[in-house]
Chains A and B, each alone.
Chain A
Amino acid sequence: MRTPSLRYRIFRIGNLVFLTLLTLTMILPFINVLAQSLSSSEAIMGGEVSFWPVAFTWINYEYVFGDASFWRAFAVSVGVTLLGTLVNLAATASLAYPVSRPEYKGRSVIVMFVLVTVVFSAPLIPNFILMKELHLVNNPLVLIVPGAINAFNFFVMRSFFAQLPGELIDAARIDGCGEFGIIWRIVIPLSKPAMASLGIFYAVGHWNAYSTALYYLNDPAWWPIQVTLKKLFESDDISVDPGSAVYSTLAHTSPEGIKMATIIIATLPIIIIYPFLQRHFVKGIMVGSVKS
C-alpha cells in the first residue's frame, strides 16, 4: 500500500479544496468588513465593495475617533479588562493554590463545592436581586466582581499548581521558609506562563463581555465597547427594505461605513493579542480536557 489509491488521492485534493473554501468563509467576511470601513458610503450603499476598498477614505475612522462616547466606552473596556484580569488572576490563584497543596485537608470538599456551581446555575432574576442588594446595579464594579473566579479556570489553575514540584516546597519549608516566602520565591516565578495564558483568556472575556453590562448598567457613561457597538447597530437597525411597513419607523441615522469602522476598532485588540493567545490556548484546553 505504498502508493495511495486513486480514490484517496481524489479525496485528498477534494479535501484541500473544501478546507480552503471553508477557511475563506471564516476570513472573507472580516476582510469585507475591513474593506467597507475604508470605503465611501456611496460605494458601500451602492453595493460596490467586496474585498477591496472602493473610493478609499479614512472618513469612517475619523468620524468614530471624533466621537466622545466611543472613546469613553473604549476607555471603560480597557480599564475593566486590565483591572478585571488582575482581580481574576489574584482571586483564582488565591483559591487554586491552597486547594492544590496536599497539606490542605478538605481539598475534595472545596472541589465539589465549586463543581456544584458549574452544574447548577441560578436564573437571571435571583442574580439580579443579589446585585441590587450588593449595590452593584449601575456600578461599574459589576463588570469585575461577580465574575472574579471562573470555575473552569480555577480547575485549570489548580491542576497546574498541583504539578509544581512538591519536593521543592517541602525543602523550602525545612529550610524555615514561611508559606508566603514559598509563594513569593517558588510558586509565583514558576507559574508566570500559566498566569499569562489564563490572563489572556480572562482578558478576552472582559473585552467581549456584553450581557452583564446590558443587564446591570443603565447609565451610558459606564457602557463598555460591546454595548455601545450594539446600540450603534440598533440605531440604524439592519438595512430595511424600503417597501416594507417597518421602514418608516426605523430612522437611518448611521451610515454603514461607521458601523464597519467601529467593528474593526473594537476587534483590533483581539487581533493584536491573537498570536500570543494561540500559543497558549491549545495547552490550556489540553489541561482542561484531561481534568474533565
Chain B
Amino acid sequence: MHRSSGFGARIGDARRYLWRYRILYLLSVPGILYFFLFKYVPLFGSVIAFQNYNIFKGITGSDWVGLEHFQKMFSHYDFLRILNNTLLLGLYDLVIAFPVPIILAILLNEVRQIMFKRTLQTIVYMPHFLSWVVISGIFMGIFSMDAGVVNKALEFLGFQPIYFLGEDSYIRSILIGSGIWRDSGYGTIIFLAAIAGINPDLYEAAEVDGAGRLKQIWSITLPSLLPTIMILLLLHIGKFLDLGFERVFVFLNPLNLESGEILDTYIYKAGLLSQQYSYTTAIGLFKSVVGLALIVIGNFISKKTTGESLY
C-alpha cells in the first residue's frame, strides 16, 4: 500500500519531468529513429547469412540453412585466395603504413623554421581530402606506360619502363603506397598534438643530464607517444580485414584482380552484382567477427603489457 503509492508518485514525477523537458526529448526522437532504422535494422537483417535468402520470400519467408554458407566459404578456392590477399594487405598496412605518421610527426617536430614547417604541413594534409577516384586517376597518370612521369624517369635512368597498373605483382605495392600517400600526412596531426602536450621540463632535465637532441627523441618523445600509439594501433587492428572498399576498388582491373581483390570488393562483386545474397552476408559477418575478436585480443594484450586499453 505504502510502497505502491510511492511508486505511483515516482511515475508521476517521471511524467512531470518528461513533460517539463518534452522539447529536448522530442528533438532527439528523429535521430534515435535514424540510428535504429539505418544501423540496427540491417544488423538484424544479417540473419540472412543463416538462410537461403530469397528476395521474393523476404527474411521471414526464406529457409534456414544454419552454417551452410560459412562452410561453403572455407571450401571455396576463390574465397581462400581473396582472404589471403586481404590478410596480406592488412599485414602490410599495419607493418608498413601504420608507423609512417608517427615517424613523420617526429621529423616534422624537429623542423625549426616555422614558415617552412607550416608549408610542409599544409601540403601533406592535402591528399587526405581527395576522393579515391581522383587519387586513382592521378596514379594512373603518373604510372602510365607511355605518358607517365615515373616511367620516363626510369627510362632516363636506363631502366625498362614498368607497366605498374597492369601487372598483378605491383598491385599490393600500389594499394599500400596510395594509402600512405593519402593518409600519412593527415595522420601526423594527432601525433603532433600529442608531442605538443609533452611536458617541456622533461626535455630540460634530459638536457641537463647531457642527452643530445636525438637521444631525447628516443627516450622522451617516443615513450610519451606510446599511449596514443597503442590506442590507434588497437583501432587499426580492429580494421585488419577492413581495408575499405573504395581504396581498393578504384585500382582494380582484370589484369591485377588475382592479387588485388579483397573481401570488400568480392562482397560487392559476388553479392550485389551476382546476387549471392546470403553467401556474401556470411562473408561480411565473418569479417566483423574477426575484427571484433582482434580488438578484444589486442586490448587484452595491450592492457597486460602497456596498461593502455580501449575499454
Chain A residues with CB under 8 Å of B40's CB are 117
In the complex, identify which listed stretch (B25-33, B75-83, B90-98) lies at the interface while the others stay far away: B25-33
A22 to B119, CA, bound (A): 13
Given contacts A241-B163, A246-B254, contact A123 B110 (CB under 8 A): no
The CA-CA distance from A204 to B133 in the complex, in Å, is: 14
A256 touches B147 (CB 8 A): yes
Whether B137 and A259, one on each chain, are in contact in the complex, defined by CB atoms closer than 8 angstroms, is yes
Q: Is the CB of B284 within 8 A of A123?
A: yes
Interface range for B: 35 or more
Q: Is A238 an interface residue (CB 8 A)?
A: yes
B271 and A274 contacting across the interface, CB-CB below 8 Å: no
Interface of B is mostly: helix
A176 surroundings in chain B (CB, below 8 A): none
The number of chain A residues touching the other chain, given as a range, is 35 or more
Partner of B24, one of A28, A127, A179: A179
Find out whether the CB atom of A105 lies under 8 angstroms from the CB atom of B17: yes
A97 at the interface (CB under 8 A from B): yes
Residues of B with C-beta under 8 A to A179:
21, 23-24
Instruction: Give CA–CA (A121, B23) in the complex, Å.
Output: 31
Question: Which among B2-10, B209-217, B218-226, B300-308 touches the partner chain?
Answer: B209-217
Q: Within the assembled complex, what's the spacing in Å between the Cα atoms of A292 and B142?
A: 38
> B124, A289: Cβ atoms under 8 Å?
no
Q: Knowing that A104-B28, A154-B31, A239-B145 touch, tell me 12 more A-B residue pairs with CB under 8 angstroms.
A: A5-B213, A32-B138, A36-B141, A45-B147, A99-B28, A124-B271, A149-B31, A208-B134, A239-B147, A259-B141, A274-B126, A277-B129
Which B residues fall within an 8 A CB radius of A? 17, 21, 23-25, 27-28, 30-32, 34-35, 37-43, 45-46, 48-49, 55, 59, 104, 107-108, 110-112, 116, 119-120, 122-127, 129-134, 136-142, 144-149, 151-152, 163, 165-166, 181, 185, 189-190, 193, 207, 210, 212-214, 228, 231, 245-246, 249-250, 253-255, 267-268, 271-272, 277-278, 280-281, 283-285, 287-288, 292
